[in-house]
Amino acid sequence: MTMRYKIYFSLLLLVFSAGLFAQSTGPGGQPDTKHIRIVDTLTAQEKVNRNPVILKAELDSMISHYNASHPQQVLKEPVKVTSNDSNPYIMAGLFAILVLLSFIIYIFYRQQHKINRTIAGLNEKLKQPGSNADNGFHAISKEKKGKTAPQSLENKIYDLNAELHKLSKENEGLNRVIKEYNGIQHEFDSLKHGILKTYKVKNYPGYDKTKDETWAMQGVFQTENLVANYAYEKFMKPILAITDVNKNSPAKLSDADREKLLDLLVSLSLLYIEYLYLRVNDLSIGGKMVERIQGFSKGNGPDISLLKKLNTEFGSRALVLKMALNRAELYQLSYPVFDETNLNNQ
């Protein structure tokens, strides 16, 4: 059965193929000539039946006849307008060049003006005596004169700028020094004003009106040091010695140490009471007070022969203090000076 089906299928394909071939060819097995063909020559059969076939000469004649009856329009090519697009760029470039040249001329003029001002400033400094720029400027001038080859403008500008920078740095340094000096001077003036207000500088030992105020203030500090050293050596040091010896058994303090301790305390207070006359404006300085204080530098005590005797007839401040000391059984003091009076007088 299978073999039979294969034979039938083959025969069916053969029939279909024959039908298709018959359709593709004309009568008599010739190819279909219904389409128009253009050839150079005709065969005898084509001359008999040449409806779809024409000669090339006939086609050319037909085209010439058609062209004669239908004139062709000549197409004109559009004229291309050539626009010069580079003109704006050229103008922009020229403008940029002009701006650059103007800027260069301006920079050159400005630099030249700066150089002229610098030279003028250097000349002004050279006219001033003791100017720091004098030596430097002459040194630069000699160095420039020693060069045989001329320098270009750029080198001159560079040298002048370097010199100007150097002078600017020196000026800044001088300004800082002046500023510091002004600050120190202001502080010194404030200190001097305070000292003159606090102390009677003109009454201090060693004051000399022919010398300046600085020397007078040095005399104040020297006197302060003398009084402090004298008070420490003559009174404060012995007081500390007595108290150190008896600090473990203060109740066993002897009468002699007690009297000595009171003497030192009262004498120290009298010393500084007298020293207050050099500071307080309400207290008037008189007698030999200045000479007595000046003698402290040699460690000398008061000169008793220069003191006034105690006046018991008319009364005085010293008499009041003397009576109070007598009640305290203090008859002899190490520094018996009060109101220019000797308190050791009986």
Asked whether the predicted pLDDT for residue 212 surpasses 60, the reply is yes
Judged on CB neighbours under 10 Å (0-12, 13-18, 19+), 296 is buried
199 or 271, higher pLDDT: 271
Burial 186-223 (b: 16+ CB within 10 A, else e): eeeeeeeeeeeeebbbeebbebeeeeeeeebbebbeeb
**Maximum average pLDDT range among 106-120, 182-196, 221-235:** 221-235
Establish if 150 belongs to a structural domain. Answer: no
238, pLDDT greater than 50: yes
More confident residue, 138 or 199: 199
Q: 284 or 83: which carries more pLDDT confidence?
A: 284
pLDDT value at position 36? 62
Does some domain include residue 56? no
Q: What is the pLDDT of residue 24?
A: 47
User: Residue 267 above 70 pLDDT?
Assistant: yes
Name the residue range of residue 275's domain. 213-342
pLDDT at 141: 54
Mean pLDDT, the chain, whole residue set: 76
pLDDT at position 77 is 59
| Of residues 167 and 285, more confidently modeled | 167
The counts of H helices and E strands in the chain are: 11, 4
Query: Could you give the C-alpha distances from 237 to 241, 250, 268, 299, in angstroms and in order?
Result: 6, 18, 11, 14
Q: Residue 133's pLDDT is what?
A: 45
Decide if pLDDT at 303 tops 70. Answer: yes
- Among 89-98, 199-208, 240-249, 335-344, top mean pLDDT goes to 240-249
Bridge partners, 111 (sequence order): none
Does the residue 328 lie in any domain? yes
Query: Which pLDDT does position 151 carry in this prediction?
Result: 56
Q: Has residue 16 got a pLDDT over 90?
A: no
pLDDT of residue 85: 57
Look at the pTM and tell me if it is higher than 0.85: no
CA distance 287 to 304: 13
Reply yes or no on whether the pLDDT at 21 is more than 60: no
- Higher per-residue confidence, 131 vs 115: 115
Domains identified in the chain, total number: 1
Q: Residue 46 falls within a domain, yes or no?
A: no
Higher pLDDT, 81 or 334: 334
Higher pLDDT residue, 58 or 258? 258
Q: Which helix (H) or strand (E) holds 342?
A: strand 341-342
Helix (H) or strand (E) holding 46: helix 44-48
Percent of the chain clearing pLDDT 90 (strictly above): 7
Residue 254 confidence (pLDDT) above 60? yes
Confidence of residue 86 (pLDDT cuts 50, 70, 90): low
155: pLDDT strictly greater than 50: yes
Report the C-alpha gap between 316 and 328 in whole angstroms. Answer: 19
Q: What is the pLDDT of residue 3?
A: 56
Judged on CB neighbours under 10 Å (0-12, 13-18, 19+), 144 is exposed
Q: What's the CA gap between 131 and 122, in Å, rounded? A: 10
* 120: pLDDT strictly greater than 90: no
Q: For residue 311, what are its two tokens? A: 């006046």
Residue 223 lies in a domain: yes
User: Residue with structure tokens 């150089």?
Assistant: 115
Residue 220 lies in a domain: yes
- Mean per-residue pLDDT for 318-338? 88
What average pLDDT does this structure show over 241-264? 90
Residue 115 counted as domain residue: no
